[in-house]
Amino acid sequence: MQHDGGTQARGEWRSRVGFVLAAAGSAIGLGNIWRFPGETAENGGAAFLVVYLAAVLLVGLPVMVAELSIGRRTRRNPVGAFLVLKERTPWWLLGGLGVVTGVAILSFYSVVAGWTLRYLFKAISGGLTGVDTAEQATAHFNDAVANGPMNTVMHGLFMIMTVLIVFGGVKKGIELASRIMMPLLLVLLVGLVLFSVSLPGAEAGLKFYLQPDWSQLTPKVIIAAVGQAFFSLSLGMGAMITYGSYLARKENLVSSGVLVAVMDTGIAVLAGLVIFPALAAAGANLETLPKGAGLIFTVLPTIFSSMPMEPWGGIIFGTLFFLLLSVAALTSTISLLEVGVAWAVDELHMSRHKAAILLGLAAFILGIPSALATGGWQVFTQAHWLGMDFMTAMSTVFGTYSLTIGALLICIFVGWVWGVKPALAELRDGCSSEGIMRLWSILVRFVCPLAIAVILAQSMGLLDRLAGLFPG
Ligand code: PHE
Residue 8, pLDDT score:
42
User: Which pLDDT score is estimated for 353?
Assistant: 95
What's the pLDDT at 174? 64
CA 401, 23, 184, 325 dihedral sign is negative
Cα 231 to ligand 1 centroid, rounded to whole Å? 5
- Please name the residue ranges forming H helices in 4-133: 4-10, 16-27, 30, 36-42, 46-55, 61-74, 78-85, 92-124
Note the pLDDT of residue 5: 37
Task: State the pLDDT at residue 291.
Answer: 60
Report which DSSP code applies to 290: P
pLDDT at 471: 66
DSSP code of residue 246: T
pLDDT, residue 290, reads 58
Question: What CATH class has 7-462?
Answer: mainly alpha
Give yes or no for residue 32 CB within 6 A of ligand 1. yes
Cβ of 343 less than 6 Å from ligand 1: no
Residue 326 CB–ligand 1 contact under 6 Å: no
pLDDT of res. 7: 41
Q: Quote the pLDDT of residue 324.
A: 87
**Which atom of ligand 1 is closest in space to residue 29's alpha carbon?**
12
- CA of residue 341 to ligand 1 center, whole Å: 16
**CB of 232 closer than 6 A to ligand 1?**
yes
Cβ of 261 less than 6 Å from ligand 1: no
DSSP state of 288: G
The CA distance from 249 to 219, in Å, is 41
**Residue 191 has what pLDDT?**
92
Ligand 1 mean position, distance from CA 232 (Å)? 5
Asked if residues 79 and 365 have their Cβ atoms less than 8 Å apart, the reply is: no
Stretches where the chain sits below pLDDT 50 are 1-8
Which element (helix H / strand E) includes 362? helix 352-373
Output the pLDDT for position 404. 96
Q: Give yes or no for residue 156 CB within 6 A of ligand 1.
A: no
Ligand 1 neighbourhood includes 278 CB (under 6 angstroms) = no
Q: Helix/strand/coil (H, E, C) string of 132-198?
A: CCHHHHHHHHHHHHCCHHHHHHHHHHHHHHHHHHHHCHHHHHHHHHHHHHHHHHHHHHHHHHHHHHC
Rounded distance between C-alpha atoms, residue 301 and residue 334, angstroms: 27
d(CA 307, CA 396): 35
Tell me how far the alpha carbon of residue 34 lies from the centroid of ligand 1, in angstroms.
11
Name the residue of 99, 336, 339, 404 whose CB sits within 8 Å of the most ligand 1 atoms, as the mutation to test its pocket: 336
CB atoms within 10 A of CB 4: 9
Q: Is the CB of 364 under 6 A from ligand 1?
A: no
Instruction: Answer yes or no: are the C-beta atoms of 356 and 337 closer than 8 Å.
Output: yes
Tell me which DSSP letter residue 168 carries. T
